[in-house]
Amino acid sequence: MSTVKTVRIGETEIATEAFGDPAHPPVLLIMGGAASMLWWPEAFCGRLAERGRFVIRYDQRDTGLSTKYPPGEPGYGIEEVVDDAFAVLDAYGISRAHFVGFSLGGMIGQVAALKDPRRVNSLTVISSSPIGGDQTRLPPSGDAWLDHMNEEVDLADRAATIDYMVEDSRLVAGVAAPFDAIEMRAFIERDFDRSDGYLSGANHSILFDIDQEWRDRLSLLNVPLLVIHGTADPVFPHGHGDALAQSVDGARLVKLDGGGHELHPVHWDRIIGGIIEHSDSVKSVSAQQTKERKKS
């Protein structure tokens, strides 16, 4: 069972959905570029909630049921979408949460942890890239996916867009399990119709232009960090996950054998288990620190 809530930030509306018991430790899920919250599957959220977490997913601006802006004229940047994440927590009466970000969502999570670490109990970054460091040393994306990205598609054409997105999903899939084109097409059709099209999603390209201020501070990130990355990711090859984990003291890296740029069910146990273990370890450390403070 879940609850839905619309969060209003000025004239912007953010659609959200929560799973589980609000008394449990909160986990905020931040999806990647141009992707609605449905790309965090309902079953994934439910299984995370069953493990004793209060799980919140949401549509970022220009996705799903949230406010859309004219294509090419977003009128916002990384700072605003980070503040959106905090506003979602505020709407649920939550001061601090465990942040989990996928792809671009992982970069948003890094900025959030640098901007206001008091609100981020822990950070889990999945299939993403470091916002700082020497970007020229990171491995490039796969040629087949890059060629596909450079193809022109009429995003106003439902059939053409869905075909394009199914092919995109095939190209970013890993090798740990067969790609199910029929299931993916059904999902993308549902997501496209719920979002009333994908025209505004391209506005998220502006979010990759992260201010140098934040890039220069990545090594100073002091929020407990878990990096989860597939070994067959063609968008951000696994060297990106390695680089992120090496950039932050105490960070831990979990590699998904054969995993692509996706949340495939074959890896859910590993991903969910990692999030639970990571957030539990933070809770244990906090409890120990509180005990030590009381003794002193």
Instruction: List the chain pLDDT tens, one digit each, 296 residues.
Output: 799 999 999 999 999 999 999 999 999 999 999 999 999 999 999 999 999 999 999 999 999 999 999 999 999 999 999 999 999 999 999 999 999 999 999 999 999 999 999 999 999 999 999 999 999 999 999 999 999 999 999 999 999 999 999 999 999 999 999 999 999 999 999 999 999 999 999 999 999 999 999 999 999 999 999 999 999 999 999 999 999 999 999 999 999 999 999 999 999 999 999 999 999 998 644 443 333 333 43
Q: What are the catalytic residues?
A: 103, 233, 261
Q: Which residues of 254-289 are buried (b: 16+ CB within 10 A; e: fewer)?
A: bebebbbbbbbeebeeebbebbbebbeebeeeeeee
Task: Tell me if 121 sits within 8 A of 282, measured CB to CB.
Answer: yes
Query: What number of other Cβ atoms are within 10 A of residue 95's Cβ?
Result: 11
Question: Which residue is associated with the tokens 């394009």?
Answer: 164
Task: Tell me if 253 sits within 8 A of 128, measured CB to CB.
Answer: no
Query: What number of other Cβ atoms are within 10 A of residue 140's Cβ?
Result: 10
Q: Give the per-residue pLDDT at 291.
A: 37
Distance, CA of 237 to CA of 20 (rounded, Å) = 33
Architecture of domain 2-139+200-295: 3-Layer(aba) Sandwich (3.40)
Q: Give the per-residue pLDDT at 283.
A: 67
Query: What's the whole-model pTM score?
Result: 0.95
Q: Give the per-residue pLDDT at 128.
A: 98
Edge-first strand order for the sheet with 54-58 is 2-9, 12-19, 54-58, 26-30, 97-102, 120-126, 225-230, 252-256
Domain spans of the chain, in order of start:
2-139+200-295
Task: Tell me if 112 sits within 8 A of 85, measured CB to CB.
Answer: yes
Q: Give the per-residue pLDDT at 209.
A: 93
Which one, of 119, 107, 286, 132, lies nearest residue 208 by Cα? 107
Tokens of 130: 């470091």
Q: Give the per-residue pLDDT at 1.
A: 77
Distance, CA of 55 to CA of 76 (rounded, Å) = 26
Q: Give the per-residue pLDDT at 78.
A: 97
Distance, CA of 56 to CA of 46 (rounded, Å) = 11
Q: Give the per-residue pLDDT at 294.
A: 39
